[in-house]
Chains A and B, each alone.
Chain A
Amino acid sequence: MLSENKLKMSSSPHIREKITSGNIMLMVVIALLPASGFGIYNFGLPALIMLISTTLSAVLTEYIYEKLMHKKITINDFSAVVTGLLIGLNMPPTAPWWMGALGSVFGILVVKQLFGGLGQNFMNPALAARCFLLISFTGQMTSFVYDGMTGPTPLAMLKNGEVVDSMKMLIGTIPGTIGETSVVAIIIGAVFLILMGVIDLRIPGTYIATFIIFIGIFGHFQNPDVGFFDPQYITAHLCGGGLMLGAWFMATDYVTSPITKKGQLVYGVLLGILTGLFRLFGGSAEGVSYAIIIGNLFVPLIERVTLPKPFGKGGEK
């Protein structure tokens, strides 16, 4: 082994980095474990069944498709696991397990594989699957049962001008989808990803900052009882719903976010504005999934505009 590494005879570029997509995806899976664990603790057995169902069907779909199409089997790079797990975390625990499985099949087959597999999909497969399910089964996807009671999510309560308990939202003992309720668990995963260098603060940071500014200003117009930059209102919007899960785990998806540094900032601002627009002035209480999906579609444009100029090519126009 050692002697092999001493002298390499090949033309450049020489890649010395040990990181592979499999490593990165595995780290994302590890980072999602706290949120998954809390979801199972919070909602019990149905949540566990849902997570297993979505993850398993995502991996199986990828395997069967690649087998049938005589392509290289890529299930051991964990990308299908991440997609399946994210779909599961985006499902309400009361939805039947087959619904999540259907979402996984759609996300992997239609959104990812038909466009060419990992690295080629133009939008986040997990979010596309969630939107597919949200449009198809609006009733089941937006009914949240917690402690045996059907209750509105904090966001729905906010939309109706009610007061919510921010502390509960921070810990996560509120109705919602399996993975979105606990801000603490999500932040633990996000900090792990940042420390490992998998994601950086650019996209989530600008996303959340823009969202705070937008909500701080326009929250007042939408509901006059809320003052400008009301801290209670802003915390509730940050911790309720899927913003945290979306900002840290889905907006940062390598494939569907810009690669240029300036582009990432533009992308984050765009997502923040869109999410704010959908939440405050849209028809439903939640808007993160649609905001990120629409943001995904703008990524090629953003990259084109923000492509850095090579040295010496600046002057001419």
Chain B
Amino acid sequence: MNTCLERLYNGIVKENPTFVLMLGMCPTLAVTTSAINGLGMGLSTTAVLVLSNMLISMLRKIIPDSLRIPAFIVIVASFVTIVDFLLEGFIPSLYAALGLYIPLIVVNCIILGRAESYASKNPVLPSVFDGLGMGLGFTIGLTSIGMLRELIGSGKLFDHQLIPVADMASGQSGYVPVTIFILAPGAFLVLAGLVALQNRVKRMAARKGKKTAEPVSCGENCASCAGCSGSIFPVENKEKEEK
């Protein structure tokens, strides 16, 4: 059970896919125009991630090594299709808002990355929790970006008017929304701001002597980066070495 909790913590904090691993940037930047969209996208990805991790972990001894990528894709695509239909049937408004990005979960690098680096080498239960942790980390990332963008860009939060907005025509004073934040450039600004903030928090914690997340394999010093030699997920490599 300890591994399971460790996996959850790993996905949500230590290797948060949005803020630390910087994976799945395409949906992160594109669909986070509002908190609800971010939450919906995050939860859909989580569902696919948990299910595909589970199935891939079950089949890990059957899938031949040379054919693993196509096999993973088939499994992931099946689950994405299910999620796609479920969303279309039960939450059509969210389905309309997310649009093309639901089918695109198939090629989301978080899902394929977890399948490749964790689920295909580990037992079922830890794989499920790995998927859950990563998925929740992704959901938290997308939702917080969405919340900030929605709040600054339209004064709303979860579609609820939090700050009264000024009306030019009737001369009513109030908050003037900074529209750029719900447009594409706002996604980059908010993401960069949040990443900077969490780096700062981690550095402060490290200074106080608390043990925090290990830096990614390259030491996070991107100036001297010569390209990661395939070891994007350092924890798994360590585990391999121990074995």
- The answer to whether A and B come from one shared complex is yes
- Tell me whether A139 and B168 are in contact (CB under 8 A): yes
Map CB proximity to B onto A258-297 as digits: 1 under 8 Å, 0 otherwise: 0000000000000000000000000000000000000000
Establish whether residues A135 and B189, one from each chain, have CB atoms under 8 Å apart when the complex forms: no
Report which of A102, A110, A132, A140 forms a contact with B168, defined as CB distance below 8 A: A140
- Chain B residues with Cβ under 8 A from A140's Cβ? 168, 176
Question: Is the CB–CB distance between B179 and A136 below 8 Å?
Answer: yes
Is A137 positioned at the interface, with any CB of B under 8 Å from its CB?
yes
> Interface readout for A64-107 with B: 1 if CB under 8 Å, 0 if not?
00000000000000000000000000000000000100100000
Q: Whole-angstrom distance between the alpha carbons of A2 and B60 in the complex?
A: 83
Please report the C-alpha to C-alpha distance between residue A135 and residue B180 in the assembled complex, in whole angstroms: 6
Cβ-based interface call for A232 (8 A): no
Inter-chain CA distance A132–B185, complex, in Å, is 9
CB contacts (< 8 Å) of A110 on chain B: these are 189
Cα-based distance from A232 to B189 in the complex (angstroms)? 43
**Pair B168/A136 contact, Cβ less than 8 Å:** no
Whether B178 lies near A136 (C-beta < 8 A) is yes
> A99 to B178, alpha carbons, bound, how many Å?
10
Beyond A110-B189, A140-B168, whether A135 also contacts B183 by CB under 8 A is: yes
Nearest residue, chain A, Cβ from B196: A114
Inter-chain contacts of A136 with B (CB < 8 A): 178-181
Check if A137 sits within 8 Å of B189, measured CB to CB: no
Scan B171-182; emit 1 where CB is below 8 A from any A CB, else 0: 000001011110
Size category, B interface: under 10
Q: Which chain B positions have C-beta within 8 A of A132?
A: 180, 185
On chain A, the residues within 8 Å of B183 by CB distance are: 135
Contact of A120 with B by CB under 8 A: no
> Nearest residue in A to B182 (C-beta to C-beta)?
A136
Q: Quick check: B185 and A137 within 8 Å, CB to CB?
A: no
Interface residues in B157-178 (C-beta closer than 8 Å to A): 168, 176, 178
The binding surface of chain B is classed by DSSP as helix
Residues of A within 8 A of B181 (CB): 136
Q: Could you say which residues of chain A place their CB within 8 Å of the CB of B176?
A: 99, 137, 140
Does A21 reach chain B (CB closer than 8 Å)? no
Q: Cβ of B168: which chain A residues have Cβ within 8 Å of it?
A: 139-140
Of B176, B179, B183, chain A has the most CB atoms within 10 Å of the CB of B176
Residue of A nearest to B189 (CB): A110
A222 interfacial contact with B, CB 8 Å = no
Instruction: Identify the closest chain A residue to B185 (Cβ).
Output: A135
Residue A23 lies at the interface, judged by CB distance under 8 Å to chain B: no
Chain A 112-142 against B: per-residue CB contact (8 Å), 1 yes, 0 no? 0000000000000000000010011111100
Within 8 Å by CB of B179, from A99, A102, A137, lies A137
0/1 per residue, B213-227, Cβ < 8 Å to A? 000000000000000
Report the minimum CB–CB distance from A312 to chain B (whole Å).
Answer: 34
Q: Identify the closest chain B residue to A133 (Cβ).
A: B180
Q: Which residue of B lies closest to A139 (CB)?
A: B168
Cα distance A120–B61 when bound, in Å? 53
Give the distance to chain A from B167, nearest Cβ to Cβ, in Å.
11
A-B CB contact pairs (8 Å), 15 listed: A99-B176, A102-B178, A110-B189, A132-B180, A132-B185, A135-B180, A135-B185, A136-B178, A136-B179, A136-B180, A136-B181, A137-B176, A137-B178, A137-B179, A139-B168
